Structure 1
Amino acid sequence: MTTPLTSPIRTCLWMEKDGEAAATFYTSLIPGSAIQDSHGFRGGDVRALVVNFHLGGVPYMILNGGPHFTLSPAASISVLTEDQAETDRLWDALIANGGQESQCGWLVDPWGLSWQITPRAVMDMTFSDDPEASERARQAMYTMTRLDIATMRTAFENAG
């Protein structure tokens, strides 16, 4: 059986620097996450060049590759949360210390990595079999940065 530690496939996140700090932070946020290993530069430099880790069982690696490339919202880590408390906990942690809020549950953390923090209830509402209720929920979502389940539920349930 393939595990996060043995999977031959993982997403590589290119960061300018501080990838080990980012991986340590990320694994502290998501239950069931861990750093697998890190590998340093050659020549006595103690910084990590590559950090292998997993978030909730999904494998990633960070490459401290310098300023040649930057992260973009075109790729993001998407987390489905169970409730508003988990949504708020992750949101607050990821925007602290220089992160930036964006629209519709998206944010950028202090290292420049984009995240989507989405409550499962939001997915249920926006993909409901009731297209009018789903549209009301989506319209409410479009006004938000951090997703608010109660506000979206009110829009979903009230035809008007």
Structure 2
Amino acid sequence: MTTEPFTTCLWFDGQAEEAAKHYTTIFKDSRIGNIARYTEAGPGVPGTAITVDFELNGQRFVGLNGGPEFRFTEAISFQIHCADQDEVDYYWNRLCEGGEEGQCGWLKDKFGVSWQVIPTALPRLLTDPDPEKARRATEAMFQMRKLDIAALEQAHAG
């Protein structure tokens, strides 16, 4: 039985190395590891990446240049738990570059990968034992794209 942690494999259409470089500029505790490249044996262009190993905040990933057969969907997303509004703004702005904003803290980056930029205060606000406070916070969240902690707290407080 293996004791290796899970590694998430992301299927790209030729952008695995570009994506790994992009993500490692955003996440501070990150690095690119091994890059396997096609040789003259093919089937890809010699010298281009087949796979790229990288870590983001200790989470291991492999970017695979698998071709155009499969695309990312919102059915899978990565949550970034942010301590404060500065962190929310940082990750939201960096990951949205060339991508698209979604509702309630969701976005798609320029590669089509879905992310949720979530303040750590959000679960407390949405699950408050006082149902009225939770309702107000939830309604406020549904009106937002990037989550605004102060506005969520204000709605929660009434």
- Do both proteins adopt the same fold according to a TM-score greater than 0.5, normalized to the shorter chain? yes
1:108 Cα deviation from its structure 2 partner = 0.3
Query: What is the CA deviation profile of residues 59-100 of structure 1, one whole-angstrom value per residue up to 9, with x for unaligned ones?
Result: 11110111011111101111001111111111111111x200
Q: Does 1:67 align with 2:64?
A: no
Name 2:135's counterpart in structure 1: 135
After superposition, residues 37-76 of structure 1 pair within 5 angstroms as 37-43=34-40, 45-76=46-77
TM (normalized to structure 1)? 0.89
Q: Among 25, 30, 44, which residue is 1:28 paired with?
A: 25
Is the CA contact (8 Å cut-off) linking 1:15 and 1:64 kept in structure 2? yes
Q: Which secondary structure state, in structure 2, belongs to the residue aligned with residue 138 of structure 1? A: helix
Identify unmatched segments of 5+ residues in structure 1. Answer: none
CA RMSD of aligned residues (A): 1.7
1:45 Cα deviation from its structure 2 partner = 1.3
Count of equivalent residues: 153
Amino acid at match of 2:65: N
> Cα–Cα, structure 1 residues 49 and 148, in superposed 2: closer, same or farther, change >3 Å?
same
Amino acid at match of 1:128: D
Identify unmatched segments of 5+ residues in structure 2. Answer: none
1:42 Cα deviation from its structure 2 partner = 2.6
1:126 Cα deviation from its structure 2 partner = 1.3
Amino acid at match of 1:93: R
Q: Which secondary structure state, in structure 2, belongs to the residue aligned with residue 52 of structure 1? A: strand
Name 1:125's counterpart in structure 2: 125
| Percent of residue pairs bearing the same amino acid type | 40
Amino acid at match of 1:136: R
1:8 Cα deviation from its structure 2 partner = 5.1
Separation in 1 of the partners of 2:63 and 2:152? 35
Separation in 2 of the partners of 1:40 and 1:8? 24
After superposition, residues 11-26 of structure 1 pair within 5 angstroms as 11-26=8-23
Name 2:7's counterpart in structure 1: 10
Name 1:102's counterpart in structure 2: 102
Separation in 2 of the partners of 1:124 and 1:29? 27
Is the CA contact (8 Å cut-off) linking 1:7 and 1:59 kept in structure 2? no
> Runs of at least 4 residues of structure 1 off by over 3 A?
none
Q: Which secondary structure state, in structure 2, belongs to the residue aligned with residue 125 of structure 1? A: helix
Separation in 1 of the partners of 2:63 and 2:127? 33
Amino acid at match of 1:7: E
Separation in 1 of the partners of 2:122 and 2:5? 33
